[in-house]
Structures are given as C-alpha cells and as structure tokens.
Amino acid sequence: MLLPRDMEPKAPPPQSQQLVIRIKVPDGGDVDWSIPPGSQLLFRDVLDVIGQVLPDTTTTAFEYEDEDGDRITVRSDEEMKAMLSYYYTTVTEQQVNGVMIEPLQIYPRACKPPGKRNIHGLKVNTRAGSSNNSCPAVTEGLPNNSLKKSSAELKKILANGQMNEQDIQYRDILGHGNGGTVYKAYHVPSGKILAVKVILLDITVELQKQIMSELEILYKCDSSYIIGFYGAFFVENRISICTEFMDGGSLDVYRKIPEHVLGRISVAVVKGLTYLWSLKILHRDVKPSNMLVNTRGQVKLCDFGVSTQLVNSIAKTYVGTNAYMALALGRFPYPQVLRPGEVLNEVPLQLLQCIVDEDPPVLPVGVFSEPFVHFITQCMRKLSTERPAPEELMVHPFIVQYNDKNTEVVSMWVCRMLEEWRSQQGIQ
C-alpha cells in the first residue's frame, strides 16, 4: 500500500514496529536511533539528537537519499513528513518482498566545527545542566523536551506548551522599528514578562513555514550575551517573535555613555558576536537599538538575521536609514552629513557617500583612553580584511581591561539613568 505524501505531520508512524534512524557520521561511526511506534517525531527532535551525536558541529539540516540515490535536504517538519512518507513506502515494499527492513539513513549537514574561531570554547548546549558526555537519549526514545534549553525560565515557559496568541496579553509599546512594533507583554501560563516583536508580512504560507524553520536555530542559542528566545508564531499576516524582556531597553536611548560603562558593554558585544560566529550566524545589524541592557547589568544582542527569508521579507517594506549615534560622543559620528535641524531619514545617500569617501571617524585622543581610541579605530577600518574578527578583539587591551565580570557597573548606571528619566517625567 502506498502512503500519501501529504500525510499529516502529527499522524503516528504507520509501521507497527519501532522506527530506526541511522545517523550517518562523517568518520563512519554511524549511530542508530530507535523511536518507539506511534511517537510524534519533529524536525527539531532530530536536530537535537544529531546535536548530541555530533556535539562539536552545528547542524541545521540533514539529508536522506531517494530511490535514485539523490540527496534530499530536510529543514522543516513539512520536509520531515515527506521523508517519512517516502521511507514508509520503501518499508512497505521491503515487507512485501520479505527482505530485511533497512533503517532510515540520514546524513547530517555538517558545518565546520567552531575550532580556532571560537576561542572561548563555546558550544551549542542542547543538554542543559549536564556535564555528562554520554547521550543515552541517542539510542532510545525521543530526546527529552525539558533538556532542550538551559535557561530555567525558558524551560518553565516551554513546559506550558508552545507560544501562542491566546496566552499573551499585550501591554505597552516598547518601540517601533523599520519592520514592526515591539510590545511588552504578559505570558499568562508562565506569569512571565516578554518582549514581543510583531511584524506584518504579506507573504505566502510557504514562506511563513520557511521563516519558522529558519528561526529554529534560535532555540539553540544559549549565551548570556544573546537575548533569550521563547518562540514565534504566525497569526494571519503577522509574525510575533517572543523574547526575553530587558528592563533597561536599548542603548540608542542612552545617547552619551561613559567610557568605563562602554568598556563593559563592548566586552558583552564582542562575546555575543563571538558566540554567534561559533553558530555560523552573522549579525548583520549591529547597532545601539539592537543592544539591550537590564537593571541586573546584563548586555545582550538582539535582531540578528538568522532567517534570510524574514530579512528579505522585511527589506521589501524598509523605509528608514541606518544612521545612529556614536555612544561615546553622544552625537552623530559624521557631523558633516547631519546639520542641525536635519532628519536622519533625509540623508541616507549623503551618509553612504561620506562613508565611502571620507576617512573613518576617530575618537579624540586625550578625551578617551589610548586603548579605547585604538579599539574604535580598529573596528572602523574600511577594509574588511584589516578589521579584526570578534575573537581577535577579545585580546585587545581595551576588552581585556574591562573583561572583569563586573556587572555592577552597568547595573548601577542603568538604574541611575532610569531613575533620572522617571524623575524628569515626574517634573514635567
């Protein structure tokens, strides 16, 4: 009997015996993974198990071979469904012919291990709270859902099921960007405050699915320098992306920031970027509004373009410009472009011209320390080959000086600024 290819993904596997998936490991040490009959297998479950089999690589997809030996890539639940449907068809044929049933062979799409690039030895941690290197879940059963995240808070939320619109009460608007609006929201089941970014996207359901599958990697991001991701969902033509709420907001509103605070912020940004690089994620939008702070003194990066499709879809409705303040000077770094009274949105072409033609801006020596001036000069180098990578910046004297794990400094500064704003608002 041939099974339809559009079989529902939640339908239990049609085979009466357990499904065996053979994970083909590049060095030949294949791993067989047994899944009990009737289990609901999701794409993310497979990635999790691959992550345990190959802990030093970041796998975002895998492949299987069709009857012609062609490799088919699986990146989503939908594609998993097609793969399983194809596999069960071959199993049925093997049963009819009385031959031994072959396991389902999958080939992880191996990315290069972080190796030297990740000088901190950061890894994608899919086994929270466990220093045990053996992976019992690999050979028997589905990976334990509670092990997917390391953050206790995140686990609590996920334990209450997937994020969805019904469970979220939208409160204040935190800000508007080019793509959408960010709300402070209350997640009823967990009692947790979230930041929810809502973006209107007039795209097909197929593209929506692609975005959801591309966002999957965010579940694996586990760093104190990266905003926590709680989940995302589409309702009609809008996507809601739920993340950790940062009570200090983004750095663009702080304008001028003292050097000793910027030092700690820079350490967090460089560590965050190093971590993203280790996951093969290029941020692509590093700017003050994408650096968030909280009253605990944490600094975290957000809005890195993990979903190409999402970035492309938003780009179609892009209306603004990329100009922003220099945080050390508290003013626009190219004063020749922006004269008093001019709005940033009016000058993007002049800005581009300026970046291309002029020397990069430098910090005034004497006002700022020598290591800081040098650090900024290095980061502003126009030739990408001359610009240091995040891991190289980690050993720069400015970063070394402030890499002291002192969260108090940022914490006290954020609290003081919030207090000042509150009292100013009270006066008005």
Catalytic residues: 285
Figure out which of the listed residues 169, 178, 237, 308 binds ligand ATP, where binding follows CB under 6 A. 178
CB of 260 to ligand ATP, least distance (A): 23
The one of ligand ATP, Mg ion, none whose footprint includes residue 269, by CB under 5 to 8 A per kind, is none
- Rounded (5°) CA angle 5-9-12: 100
Residue holding tokens 């209350």?
Answer: 186
Determine the interface stretch with ligand ATP among 18-26, 100-108, 179-187, 201-209 (rule: CB under 6 A). Answer: 179-187
How far does CA 11 lie from the centroid of its chain?
30
Q: Does the protein bind ligand ATP through residue 180 (CB under 6 A)? A: yes
CB of 357 to ligand ATP, least distance (A): 25
Q: Does the protein bind ligand ATP through residue 195 (CB under 6 A)? A: yes
Q: What is the CA radius of gyration of the chain?
A: 25
How far does CA 27 lie from the centroid of its chain?
29
The one of ligand ATP, Mg ion, none whose footprint includes residue 63, by CB under 5 to 8 A per kind, is none
Q: Does the protein bind ligand ATP through residue 225 (CB under 6 A)? A: no
Figure out which of the listed residues 175, 305, 361, 371 binds ligand ATP, where binding follows CB under 6 A. 175
DSSP type of residue 423: H
| Other CB atoms within 10 A of residue 250 CB | 20
Figure out which of the listed residues 57, 125, 223, 290 binds ligand ATP, where binding follows CB under 6 A. 290
Asked if 21 and 52 count as a contact pair (C-beta separation under 8 A), the reply is no
Q: Which is nearer to ligand ATP, 58 or 307 (CB)?
A: 307
CB of 178 to ligand ATP, least distance (A): 4
CB of 420 to ligand ATP, least distance (A): 17
- Edge-first strand order for the sheet with 71-74 is 31-35, 19-23, 104-108, 62-65, 71-74
Determine the interface stretch with ligand ATP among 3-11, 124-132, 272-280, 287-295 (rule: CB under 6 A). Answer: 287-295
Figure out which of the listed residues 174, 200, 355, 379 binds ligand ATP, where binding follows CB under 6 A. 174
CB of 159 to ligand ATP, least distance (A): 21
Parallel, antiparallel or unpaired: strands 19-23 and 104-108:
parallel
Closest alpha carbon to 80 in 113, 46, 103? 46
Give the 3-state secondary structure of residue 308. helix
The one of ligand ATP, Mg ion, none whose footprint includes residue 223, by CB under 5 to 8 A per kind, is none
DSSP type of residue 248: T
Q: Does the protein bind ligand ATP through residue 417 (CB under 6 A)? A: no
Q: Does the protein bind ligand ATP through residue 224 (CB under 6 A)? A: no
Q: Which residues bind Mg ion (CB under 5 A)?
A: 177, 289-290, 303
Parallel, antiparallel or unpaired: strands 71-74 and 104-108:
unpaired
Tell me the C-alpha to C-alpha distance, in Å, between residue 350 and each of 23, 126, 251, 285, 335: 54, 46, 25, 20, 12
Asked if 149 and 158 count as a contact pair (C-beta separation under 8 A), the reply is yes
Please work out the total of residues on this chain that contact ligand ATP, with binding judged by CB under 6 A.
Answer: 24
Figure out which of the listed residues 289, 295, 350, 401 binds ligand ATP, where binding follows CB under 6 A. 289
- Edge-first strand order for the sheet with 238-244 is 168-176, 180-187, 192-200, 238-244, 229-235
Counts of helices then strands in the chain (DSSP H, E)? 11, 12
Tell me the C-alpha to C-alpha distance, in Å, between residue 197 and each of 87, 104, 173: 39, 39, 10
Q: Which is nearer to Mg ion, 216 or 303 (CB)?
A: 303
Kindly identify the residues of this chain, within the stretch 228-267, that bind ligand ATP according to CB under 6 A: 243-246, 249-250, 252
d(CA 414, CA 409): 9
Q: Does the protein bind ligand ATP through residue 292 (CB under 6 A)? A: yes
Q: Does the protein bind ligand ATP through residue 363 (CB under 6 A)? A: no
> What is the number of the residue whose Cβ is closest to Mg ion?
303
Q: Which is nearer to ligand ATP, 103 or 177 (CB)?
A: 177
* Contact residues for ligand ATP, defined by CB under 6 A: 174-180, 182, 195, 197, 227, 243-246, 249-250, 252, 285, 289-290, 292, 302-303
